[in-house]
Structure 1
Amino acid sequence: MDLMQLLNILRARIWLILLVMAATVATTTVVSFVMPKQYTAQTDLIIDVKSVDPVSGAAMPTQMMSSYMATQVGVVKSHSVGLKVVKMLKMADNPSAVEQFEAVTDGEGALEDWLAKALLKNLDAIPSRESSILAITFTGADPEFAALIANAFAQAYVDITLELTVEPAKNTSRWFNGQLQVARANLTEVQENLARYQSEMGIVTSDARLDIENARLNDLNRQLVAVQAQSMTDQSRIEGQSPENLPEVINNPMIQRIKAEVGTQEARVNELSSKLGSNNPNYINAKQELRLLKVRLATEMKIVLDSFRSNYAASQQHEEAMRAAVEAQKLHILALMNQSDIITVLASEVQNAQKAYDFALQRFSLFSMQSQVGQTNIAILNAARPEYKPSNPRILLNIILSIFMGGMLALGLALLVEMFDRMVRTVSDIEKGLDMPVLGVLKKAKVARRQRKLDWARLEWMKRSTQ
């Protein structure tokens, strides 16, 4: 079907089209005037989604603002808010509401739930796309009642939001209070364990005491090294040198004096032997004196050597005592280190218990303050006022829409009628529909109305005469 065929069909069915459009518009107009009038009231709320929490100091991330507004819409349209409005306005005490409830539900269910559901059916919450404003609208048959309900929903929403913030904080605060008591008892216990162990071991400051004992061990080690060095020196002098070459012998004045006397006496004996002979009394006396000097020298050297050996033995004993003292000091330090490790473990337990207690105290304080917050980030920007201009039905809009919809319906109906009552309206209908060539087209003759009447009368007379 081309455009020309469509236009010819519409022109041929123009009266049907006009009739359908007129019927549609008339019906819509009548229904619009008959429908009960509805009034819509709107309350505007501003939600400060960028505000900082007055207790925790945290701010909402920017990417969560859209989902936050969608959540708030869900809260406004929730059954809990509807119930709060019903309780706030004491709607369950209204006799007419009770009668309607009995008539509709036969008394089944709760009246407050039924009223809340009825209110929510006419409620809508619309968030602004470019701002943080949330519009709460309510539609009803009475403009003042609609404004009252819209404002009540706004206030109930603010109250519910505050409850949703405060109640979880109260529950969490109570839980952290119990944890705080446990953490305090644990901290007290580990502190007492540490103090008891320090008291039993007589430890004041383990680190300082350990440093002192380490310094003492180092001093003992230095003394031991010195004693060992002296002992080794004395041993090498005893084993590797002649007693006459010992420094103690060489540096002894008595021995040196006796040695000098021995040398002098030996020279005298040699001289007397060469002059007087070995049987001379003077020679014999001189030799006897020489023997006595040598005995005296040997005695003095023995005294010095015995003293040296005695000192060496004492040095050995001192070395053993120093070695034992070093080993004892090492054991003492090991014991102190063991005590220090135990104290470190106990101190670590105290530190961990202190951290747990501080964390529990911090969270308890935070949620305790949050449970006492009396404000939210929501404020009523514009309270609803009675709007006496009905929001529904919109007569002019309905008429405009009925013209459009009636036209579409009329066109569809005209095409449907044409489909079941097909007529030849253009040359292409014959060519395409009958697949036959068109020899010619007779145009409609232009005849006056009076002549058409005469022709019609003549045609009727001819029909009667033939009968």
Structure 2
Amino acid sequence: MDAASNYATPAAGTPENRLHFLDYWRIIRMRGLLIFVVFALVVGTTAVLTHWMEPTFMSTVRMDVQKDVGDISSLMPQQQQGGFDPYFVMTQFEILQSKEVLYKVIDDLKLVQRWDQKYRLGQSKFKAYQVLIKLIDPRQVRNTSIIEINVYSKDKAEAAEIANKIAEVYKASRDELRLRLVDQGLKTLREKLTEHHGFVEVAKSNVNQILKDKGIILTMDTPGMIGTLDIDTMRAMEQENIQLATTYRRKQTRFDELKKLPADQLRNALNYVAPDELLTKRLDELSLAEKEFISKSKDLGPLNPEYARMKDVIAKIETQIEARVVGLMKGLETDLLADKATLAERTQKLEEVKKQSREIAESRRVYQLAGQELERQQRLRETVENKIKVEELDRDIKRTTAVRVTDFAEPAVKPASPKVVLNIALGAFVGLLLGVGLAFFIEYLDTSVKTIDDVERALSAPVLAVIPQNVGALLDEGMDSPHAEAYRVLRTNVLFTRKDEHANAITVVSGGAGEGKSTTVLNLATIFAQNGNKVLLVDSDLRRPSLHKRLGLSNSLGLTNYLLGQNKLEEVIQTTSLPNLNFLPSGRLPSSALGILNSPQMKEFIKEAKRRYDFVFFDAPPIMGVSDATVLASGADLAILVIQYRKYPQSLAIRSRQMVEKVGGRLIGVVLNNINLASDASYYYYSGYHYHSNNNADEPGANGKPPGKVDRRKPVAPATDAPTIKPKY
């Protein structure tokens, strides 16, 4: 148990449990037959179904679909819309599959009557539409405005007929839709035109009423304009009024200043302001009189008559001057009052003119507003009239480029489906994928022992040897058998694993029947005997003994006879063709001796056999079937567990190990049996190297057959001079 525990420690803790690429390849090789069967079934089924399928034909009509643009330029530039519009094309896809188009196709081709029996329509147009919608496949040619309509049918002529009819109906529906929309638009425009006629008449009546109410007179030179005062005349009147006011204020100021002057200054200032010839003359006379008076008054006395006369002359002149000054001042005052009256009159007249002008302007504004409304209504009416004329002309322009069939549909030469090559290729791909998937799924569900890692991880026990598939008895195959090397490896590992040299009683057990334990114990005993050890092989599978058949010996006397005391040990042990190998068959098992292996006689037999032989090997029954195997595992020194590759679940192997340990047996390791080296390359280095170690690989054997192909039906004597092959490990 120590060796197994020490060996299991690193294996149990290894993190490398993930699948490698080679593990996937191993699974595919192991399940190759399943993958091939699934692949063949799927491909075969696909081929048969493809052959049975009724051929379907496809006809294609191609159309260049544009927006509604006339063959010549329209009178309305705003409707000339160019450029590729993907949304427009996608919209036409839906229109092509609409009931508006397809119902017309159904009616024209009488598809309800033609398909009634075939598709069981029950004279239903909607069901015919549902069938037809499944038969058409509109597509757009990339980066173009061309639409392909693919129609599928069992009848090649019918497919072409339906495709061409869809194109025809679609083109007619586009024309009908355009004319219907234009007619509806013209009807609305004519209604609007009648309405605008009424608006114009109302506006005219309003203008005439304003002219009448306001008493407006239109000028002849510019009809529609109201006669008003000339702006220059008004400005001249205003300018003249301003000048009058300025002159009046200047005269008023000068007159007021003159009134403030004394008399002597007034006469001089007055003569300057308003020159007067008489006043000037009197002033000159006064100046001369005063000069004369001054010059003569020095010589004349006041009593002189001349003196008195000059005084009187001066006084008279001054009186005349004073009278003239008063007259002039009065004249100035009168002139000032006249200017004031004139200014007042002119101001009043100007205000009246302004008032009249404002009234005329207000009348003009009202008239202009009414006139503008009349003009607006007339322009609107004219616009509607022009629009109607343009639409009527545009309606008559043909749209042959809106929908143009570039390629008409023709009956197909060969069916579009089924596509034999494509279907079989897809079937092959699906079959391969399904086969591989099923293989991996079964591998996932398979809990049996598949790898050495499974054994070491589940059982915590080392793998002593890996035995290839289709191994027979080495006594039949000979010393040069390619299978012998695997058992030499097993012998070497057994010798190195046992720590006690006296532990020479070895039992070989298995969890279930048919795992190869009998072949393993026979060949292991043969290898030990070939290496000079004295070996006793005991067939302790009392219920289903088989070793005597492989050795060609009798089973009339054996272990049961010895344990029951009927015969001595020498009488029941038989020799084989190999000198160092003796055989003890099971013997007949009476019904009264079912528990004989658990008797004291069995224990004594084991001791006696160990004393007489170098090694004693026991072939035990399946450990999960009867209790004999656990009895032998507890009585023997060592136990080897044989597990057949991919046969029983891992839980059976785990339970077998637990039962051996439970009875005190020492499990030294596991033999992984029946490995298919051809399909599982991961075991090549365990038992494949020795296949190429035969020095006479190209020479025939003694029996005329290549090495490894010995006739298993005839016993072969051991080759005494055979070359010694060293163990691999």
Fold-level match, TM-score > 0.5?
yes
Among 213, 216, 221, which residue is 1:201 paired with? 216
Residue 33 (structure 1) aligned with residue 51 (structure 2): yes
> What is the count of residue pairs matched by the alignment?
444
Is the CA contact (8 Å cut-off) linking 1:194 and 1:347 kept in structure 2?
A: yes
Contact 2:59 2:156 in 1 (8 A): yes
Percent identical pairs in the alignment equals 18
SS at match of 2:77: coil
Pick the aligned partner of 1:135 from 148, 163, 173.
148
C-alpha distance in structure 2 between counterparts of 1:393 and 1:69, whole Å: 30
- Which consecutive residues of structure 1, in runs of 5 or more, have no partner in the other structure? 453-457
| Contact 2:244–2:339 (Cα < 8 Å) also in 1 | no
Q: Hey, what does 2:203 align to over in structure 1?
A: 190
Q: Output one character per residue of 1:438-463: Cα deviation in whole Å (capped at 9) or x when no partner.
A: 1112234688xxx99xxxxx77x999
Contact 1:16/1:414, CA 8 A, preserved across alignment: yes
Contact 1:124 1:137 in 2 (8 A): yes
1:43·1:137 contact (CA, 8 Å) conserved in 2? yes
User: Of 337, 353, 357, which residue of structure 2 is paired with 1:313?
Assistant: 337
Change over 3 Å in CA distance of 1:326–1:6 after alignment to 2: closer
Task: Look up the SS of the partner of 1:158 in the other structure.
Answer: helix
The higher-RCO structure (CA 8 Å, 6+ apart) is 1
Give the direction of change, closer, same or farther, for the CA distance of 1:42–1:277 in structure 2 (3 Å limit). Answer: closer
2:356 counterpart letter in structure 1: H
Contact 1:82-1:117 within 8 A present in 2 as well: no
* Structure 1 residue matching 2:121: 3-state secondary structure: helix
Counterpart residue number, 2:438: 413
Q: 1:274 to 1:192 in 2, by over 3 A?
A: farther
Residue 41 of structure 2 is aligned with which of 23, 36, 41? 23
1:98-137 superposed matches below 5 A: 103-105=120-122, 111-137=124-150
Q: Deviations over 1:84-126 (max 9, x none)?
A: 3234x2426x64345668x434x5xxx4444333222211111
The equivalent residue for 1:394 is 419
Alignment of 1:142-161 (within 5 A): 142-161=155-174
Counterparts of 2:44 and 2:423, CA distance in 1: 11
Write the mapping of 1:7-406 to structure 2, written as runs, cut at 5 A: 7-48=25-66, 54=74, 55-58=76-79, 60=81, 65-87=85-107, 89-91=108-110, 95-97=113-115, 103-105=120-122, 111-194=124-207, 196-198=209-211, 200-204=215-219, 205-206=225-226, 209=229, 211-212=231-232, 214-225=234-245, 228-229=248-249, 231-232=251-252, 235-236=255-256, 239-240=259-260, 246-247=270-271, 251-253=275-277, 309-350=333-374, 352-353=376-377, 356-357=380-381, 360=384, 364=388, 368=392, 371-375=395-399, 376-406=401-431
Give the Cα separation in 1 of the matches to 2:56 and 2:434: 28
Equivalent position amino acid for 1:21 in 2: F
**CA shift for structure 1 position 395:** 1.5
Q: Which moved more, 1:11-20 or 1:395-404?
A: 11-20
Asked if the contact 1:169/1:371 (under 8 Å) is kept, the reply is yes
Q: Which residue is equivalent to 1:455?
A: none
Q: Deviations over 1:404-427 (max 9, x none)?
A: 212222333344455566655554
- Structure 1 pair 232–348 and aligned structure 2 pair: CA distance change class (3 A): farther
Q: CA RMSD in A?
A: 4.8
State whether residues 271 and 280 of structure 2, in contact with CA within 8 Å, keep that contact through their aligned partners in structure 1: no
SS in structure 2 opposite 1:441?
A: strand
Q: Deviations over 1:350-369 (max 9, x none)?
A: 45545655665565556555
Kept in 2: contact 1:173–1:367 (CA 8 A): yes
113-122 vs 370-379, which moves further: 370-379
Per-residue CA deviation, residues 207-229 of structure 1 (Å, 9 max, x unaligned), is 97463564354344345335524
- Counterpart secondary structure, 1:201: coil
Q: Report how far residue 296 of structure 1 moved.
A: 8.7
**CA gap 1:124/1:384 in 2 versus in 1, 3 angstroms:** same
Larger Rg: 2
**Matches of 1:264 and 1:7, distance apart in 2:** 161
TM-score (norm 2): 0.50
- Quote the offset at 1:141 in angstroms: 1.2
For residues 132-189 of structure 1, what are the alpha-carbon distances to aligned partners after superposition, in whole Å with 9 as ceiling and x for unaligned? Answer: 3221111111112111211222232333334444433433343343334334433443
- 1:324 deviates by 1.0
8 Å CA contact 1:166–1:370 kept in 2: the answer is no
Supply the AA of the counterpart residue of 2:149. I
- Give the SS at the match of 1:389: coil
Confirm or deny: 8 A CA contact 1:148 1:384 kept in the other structure: yes
Secondary structure of 1:387's aligned partner: coil
Q: Where does structure 2 lack aligned partners over 5 or more consecutive residues?
A: 1-18, 220-224, 478-548, 557-587, 590-729
Deviations 1:237-277 (A, max 9, x none): 77346685544997555666788889999999x99x97769
The structure 2 residue matched to 1:436, chosen from 446, 452, 461, is 461
CA contact (8 A) 1:40 1:138 kept: yes
CA distance in 2, matches of 1:51, 1:68: 14
- Give, in whole Å, the separation in 2 of the partners of 1:399 and 1:160: 43
